[in-house]
Amino acid sequence: MTDHDLDFGGLLPARQRNLLIGGAWTPAASGGRLEVHDPADESVITDVADGTTDDAVAALDAAVAAQHDWARTPPRERGEILRRAFEIIVDRADDFARIISLEMGKTLAEAKGEVAYGAEFFRWFSEEAVRIHGRWMHAPAGGSRLLTIRKPVGPCLFLTPWNFPIAMGTRKIGPAVAAGCTMVVKPAELTPLTMLALAGVMAEAGLPDGVLNVVTTHDSAALSRTLMADPRLRKVSFTGSTPVGRILVEQSAGQLQRVSMELGGNAPFLVFDDADVDAAVDGAMVAKMRNMGEACTAANRFLVHRAVADEFGRKLGERMGALRLGRGQDDGVDVGPLINGAAVESVGGLVREAVGAGARVVTGGTPPDGPGHFYPPTVLLDVPVGARIAEEEIFGPVAPITTFDTEEEAVAQANASEYGLTSYVYTRDLARTIRMAEALEFGMVGVNTGLVSNPAAPFGGVKASGYGREGGFEGIDEYLETTYVSLPG
């Protein structure tokens, strides 16, 4: 690939494959570079700056310097910057999709879907920027008036994962910009290009220098340790795995930073015997195969009533088996590669163990020879309750099916997980729908749908899936503090 091809129509010129600090594209202090690989053939696409902790501190310096004026910028102005950025992204959707597909592996069609979804957070929060308000009330006993003011939290650190390189960024940047916070963004080292392109768009949309700083690095742990020890950093928002989330929460104790944690999931997908099985298979394809299963919302455990399990498994197997594996940018490809060799190894290990414990392979199960990190869409029937594949996040295109006989059993199995992000229920019974919404210990419940993500909805989990919400009316609260003013009268 030539340097010109990598320009992506001007979205990512060579100078932008650097750090963004205080509005200037800057090489790493050490001069180090970080290679970016194509997961479809393991080739090197390009490289970006490998930032050091000194670079990270310089980025925080820039964010701190910009915070005062940014907080005082009229909300309408902040909203209009987001609105302009939304429009540019939509305009440049094809180029963004090419970058995402190339560095992350998903198909171009899926990448376009992610761009549209990611851009919508900017549109949503452009509309929320002007609706930040406090309240005025009389103390119940009289004698004083209670006033509240909402203020930006202050400089933030954002750590984002590789699986949705634009959307996991806009979900944090959008509300932070709307609220008047400045930020240092550290994208995943496997997919840094999308964030660098996005940062260029934000500048084009009029975001002042220093409000958004980007540091790419291979050493995320050192960066977060350094910045989180700094009392000027007031907030950390992290999307990624639960073990890393736990480290960050512990780290936040030193300076008592506010934290939002969007962590792993282990979504149950319940199909009751009164469900429309064909609709459930349609929903399962979305819930399982979005992003090749590399999504925190991915259906991880299919819990199906015994009466419909064989029919559901057979139909899902036919649909999954018909998907074409290949390079995400090629025509006719339905399923791209996984992110790296470790991902293929991990998914393969879970499948081998489940089969060893008695699961039947309906389709898939054997990865093709390299190059590229491919794993075929796989359906497993009769997966024993308690199998490791049902307890861990698979993060790949594998659908393990376990049967149940009663609603109580289904709920108990669904809730028997340390995670609590997304759950899915297929039923035509309204009373059961309501019982499920109340009984399932998850931040989100999809009813007769395989897709819950929506910028206008509060996305987030409970238990080991973390805390805090992104999107919806709740999303901006993560970036606002409340000051209470007591007035006499």
Q: By CB under 6 A, is residue 472 in contact with ligand NAD?
A: no
Q: By CB under 6 A, is residue 413 in contact with ligand NAD?
A: no
Which among 309, 312, 303 has a CA at the least distance from the CA of 411? 303
Q: Apex CA 75: angle with CA 71 and CA 81, to 5°? A: 95
- How many Cα atoms are found within 13 Å in the side-chain-facing hemisphere of 319? 20
3-class DSSP state of 139 = coil
Q: By CB under 6 A, is residue 423 in contact with ligand NAD?
A: no
**Smaller CB distance to ligand NAD: residue 265 or 313?**
265
Q: How far is the CB of 82 from ligand NAD (least distance, A)?
A: 20
Write the DSSP assignment of 48-100 as a string of letters: EE---HHHHHHHHHHHHHHHHHHHTS-HHHHHHHHHHHHHHHHHTHHHHHHHH
Answer yes or no: 296 catalytic: yes
- DSSP-assigned letter for residue 289: H
Among 34, 100, 129, 263, indicate the residue that binds ligand NAD (CB under 6 A).
Answer: 263
Q: By CB under 6 A, is residue 343 in contact with ligand NAD?
A: no
Q: How far is the CB of 23 from ligand NAD (least distance, A)?
A: 23
Instruction: State the catalytic residue, choosing from 103, 120, 296, 470.
Output: 296
Q: Which of positions 381-410 make contact with ligand NAD (CB under 6 A)?
A: 393
**E-assigned strands of 80-234?**
136-138, 144-152, 156-159, 183-186, 212-214
Q: By CB under 6 A, is residue 296 in contact with ligand NAD?
A: yes
Q: By CB under 6 A, is residue 193 in contact with ligand NAD?
A: no
Give the C-alpha distances (Å, rounded to integers) separating 248 from 9, 234, 297. Answer: 37, 13, 22
3-class DSSP state of 458 = coil
**Smaller CB distance to ligand NAD: residue 224 or 427?**
224
Instruction: State the catalytic residue, choosing from 110, 114, 120, 262.
Output: 262
Residue nearest to ligand NAD (CB): 240
**Smaller CB distance to ligand NAD: residue 164 or 272?**
164
**Smaller CB distance to ligand NAD: residue 222 or 279?**
222
Answer yes or no: 353 catalytic: no
Q: Is 388 in contact with 374 (CB distance < 8 Å)?
A: no
| 76 Cβ contact partners less than 8 Å away, ≥ 6 residues apart | 129, 130
Q: By CB under 6 A, is residue 189 in contact with ligand NAD?
A: yes
Positions in the binding site for ligand NAD (CB under 6 A): 159-164, 168, 186, 188-189, 220-221, 224, 239-241, 244, 247, 262-265, 296, 393, 421, 461
Q: Which residues are catalytic?
A: 262, 296
